[in-house]
Amino acid sequence: MTTINDATLDETTDLGLVGRNYSGYGQIVNENFVKLLENFSNTSPPAKPVTGELWYNSATKQLNVCYDGSNFKSLAGLHVQSSEPTFNQSTTGDLWWNTASQQLFGFNGQAYELVGPSISSVSDAYWINSDQTDKNDVNSVNPVLIAEISSYPVATVSNADLFLPTAASVLNENWSNGIQKGITLAGCDAKGSSAANGYYFWGTAVESLTCNTTTSITVATTTSNGTFYVALSDHTDGSTKLYTSSTGISYSSGVLNTVASSARYADLAERYEADNEYTTGTVLIIGGSKEVTTTNQRASTAVAGVVSENPAYRMNSEAGTDKTHPYIALKGRVLCRVVGNVLKGDLLVTSTRPGYAEVYQTGDSPLAVIGCALSDFIGENGTVEIKV
């Protein structure tokens, strides 16, 4: 509460409070009325606000309210219409209720993003969130995403282990065999795709195509751990037969067996852990803080090999990535960085320039040889194809 003495003007708030017999009080009162009408319109907030005071920010075109006696909080605008408000009508935080789809959107400064509900009144396909109770454990509630098309559930996504939906659930009829962690399609056995119902989800490695040595193909769930023969097709479409042979390609106990094989690229390589990221053709030696590194020692007998770009055969492939564990060519053709002139047939060793090779010289150890040049190179530095 403020006490105002006679013939005085109190300015402790943004409105001028006039005492009795104050000269010129009419102008002060009129100014107060105008300020209230325009909500203290300005680019900066009122200097002496009180809780609940309104301020219209003329810069952002937003109405703000003083919520604690000193700080202002903006009040977002609300648009109710069937079409998206134009950019110049919107400010960050504005809300738009789409009367066509019956959905709420929020403006992020660039565009309107959906707030909810996720289901549009005009959508034929959508995802909905649902908490599903386990039939065998009423205290177990599992969050599930349900994909619906024209209000008919067709798939579920869950992170819970196998559970059965209750009789009251909308999923009970088509998921009577249970909902499994990952994706479960309507009508499927949750332990795998159902051939009987015609639903397949490839990539689960539960059901696979197998074929015999005659002309037919069957779909079956494999339970044994024997040897399996890989089926091949001589056509690019799916309308022809698959072929296999007990003397062809087979897979058993993690080992692929073939009579012969071919590859598009020309070297055999293995991954080694490197102390840095190295590009194709870089010459590396055994050493450094990891397994391989570069060297400035000429004709080093610790040479590991050359970084390969596209190995035909890749050993130790799961050891890491090309950045941390580059492939080093052990045999075959590969590009190699070199310094100085190189002639076809020259043997190459490490050079004093790290990562590069140079021509072998009399007296160098045969153990230092990286490979043999397959073409000429004349210049200061570059690359040449070599045989490792």
**Cis bond leading into 117, ω under 30°?**
yes
pTM over 0.85: no
Quick one: average pLDDT of 107-119?
Answer: 83
Return the structure tokens found at 278: 């190295």
pLDDT digits (tens, 9 = 90+) for 348-387: 999 999 999 999 999 999 999 999 999 999 999 999 999 9
- Return phi, psi of residue 30, to 5°: -65, -40
- Asked whether the predicted pLDDT for residue 203 surpasses 50, the reply is no
Mean pLDDT of the chain: 82
Return the structure tokens found at 205: 């490695």
Is the sign of the CA dihedral 138, 142, 147, 150 positive or negative? positive
Is the sign of the CA dihedral 52, 55, 57, 63 positive or negative? positive
The amino acid that residue 50 corresponds to is V
Q: Residue 145's beta-bridge partner residues?
A: 129, 157
Winning range, highest mean pLDDT, from 113-117, 180-184, 293-297, 312-316: 293-297
**pLDDT-based confidence at residue 242 (cuts at 50, 70, 90):** low
* Nearest CA among 58, 94, 60, 91 for reference residue 76: 94
Three-point CA angle 201, 207, 212, nearest 5°: 130
51 CB neighbour count, 10 Å cutoff:
11
Quick one: average pLDDT of 92-121?
Answer: 84
- Please tell me the predicted confidence (pLDDT) of residue 325: 95
144 contact partners, CB below 8 Å, separation of at least 6: 129, 130, 131, 132, 156, 157, 158, 160, 171, 179
- Asked whether the predicted pLDDT for residue 117 surpasses 50, the reply is yes
- Please tell me the predicted confidence (pLDDT) of residue 226: 64
The CATH fold assigned to 267-387 is Virus Head Decoration Protein; Chain: A, (2.40.300)
Distances (CA, A) of 218 to 47, 209, 210: 82, 7, 6
pLDDT digits (tens, 9 = 90+) for 9-25: 888 888 888 888 888 88
Domain layout of the chain by residue ranges: 78-116, 125-185, 207-257, 267-387
C-alpha–C-alpha distance, residues 226 and 249, integer Å: 14
